[in-house]
């Protein structure tokens, strides 16, 4: 079955990050940490998902309703203020 089912420690995560920064091969990383290569790769992927997405606050967009340009103040905003007010 799967070996090493214990939770990842902060130290192990930091050590893996340092080893990846120095381009250490996955088999060496897994041997140093006591996990399988698959477990290390999955942990690295999940660590990348948790990184904050730095998106600009205001973005120039084209309205999906009328096609006019507007400045969106949110990352999911796709309608200009006029179309948004008319939608309800």
Count of all residues that appear for the chain in the document: 88
DSSP helix/strand/coil, 65: coil
- Distance from C-alpha of 88 to C-alpha of 84, rounded to nearest angstrom: 7
DSSP code for 53: -
Cα 21 to its chain centre, rounded Å, is: 17
Q: What is the pLDDT of residues 28-78, one digit of tens each?
A: 999 999 999 999 998 888 887 766 666 566 788 999 999 999 998 877 888
Helix, strand, coil % over all residues of the chain, rounded to 5: 45, 10, 45
Supply the pLDDT for residue 74.
Answer: 77
Q: Rounded to an integer, what distance in angstroms lies between the CA atom of residue 54 and that of residue 71?
A: 18
């Amino acid at each position: 079955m799967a070996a090493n089912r214990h939770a990842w420690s902060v130290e192990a995560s930091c050590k893996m990050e340092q080893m990846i920064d120095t381009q250490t091969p996955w088999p060496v990383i897994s041997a140093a940490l006591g996990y399988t290569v698959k477990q290390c790769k999955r942990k690295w992927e999940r660590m990348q998902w948790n990184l904050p997405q730095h998106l600009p606050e205001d973005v120039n967009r084209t309205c999906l309703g009328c096609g006019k340009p507007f400045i969106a103040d949110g990352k999911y905003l796709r309608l200009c203020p006029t179309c948004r007010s008319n939608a309800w």
